[in-house]
Amino acid sequence: MSGTKTGAAARPLSPHVQVWRWHITMAGSILHRATGVALYGGALILAGWAACLASGPAAFGTCKVILGSIPGKLVLFGLTFSIFYHLANGIRHLVWDAGKGFDPKFADATAAGAIAFAAVISVFVWGIAAWMGAL
């Protein structure tokens, strides 16, 4: 470890993030946690949207204006990316649960693949929505 603490319990210190060489699997791990938190926020947005829908046309119109604005669409696009990334990385974790995919090169490739998959599919879904006039 990187050193020891002084005091009653002299235990080794955990290495700091700056000690490690940055790699794609580290980014994938952080992104998986971040998208999990984002999806929680998305569930709250979905609940708010459902409440607006149940409250009547005026409330739904307000929600439609908020979610239809540029910042609202950016949030919705981010949630779309979060859903697809969390899905792809969840499949990656299922492969790990089977005891496969721990080779560093394979882990790096699947981390990059999950990010690329989420980006491409998100743009594809939003492109179809724009083409159909839903945006």
pLDDT tens for each residue of 19-66: 778 889 999 999 999 999 999 999 999 999 999 999 999 999 999 999
Residues placed in the known binding site for heme = 86
Q: Which residues are annotated as a binding site?
A: 86
Return d(Cα 29, Cα 22) in angstroms, integer. 12
Pair of tokens at residue 12: 């080794």
**Domains observed in the chain:** 23-131 (1.20.1300.10)
The DSSP-derived string for 49-91 is HHHHHHH-HHHHHHHHHHHHSHHHHHHHHHHHHHHHHHHHHHH
CA separation for the pair 25, 107 (Å, rounded): 7
The H or E element containing residue 108 is helix 104-131
Number of Cβ atoms within 10 Å of the Cβ of 54: 9
Q: Please say if the pLDDT value at position 134 is more than 60.
A: yes
Q: Hunting for tokens 């492969």 — which residue is that?
A: 95
99: left (phi over 0), alpha (psi -120 to 50) or beta: left
**134 neighbors 49 (Cβ within 8 angstroms):** no
- Specify the pTM: 0.83
- pLDDT recorded at residue 44: 98
Rounded to whole angstroms, the Cα distance separating 116 from 24 reads 12
User: Which tokens is 73 given?
Assistant: 């669409």
Q: Check residue 123 and give its pLDDT.
A: 98
Given a contact cutoff of 8 angstroms between Cβ atoms, the answer to whether 13 and 1 are in contact is yes
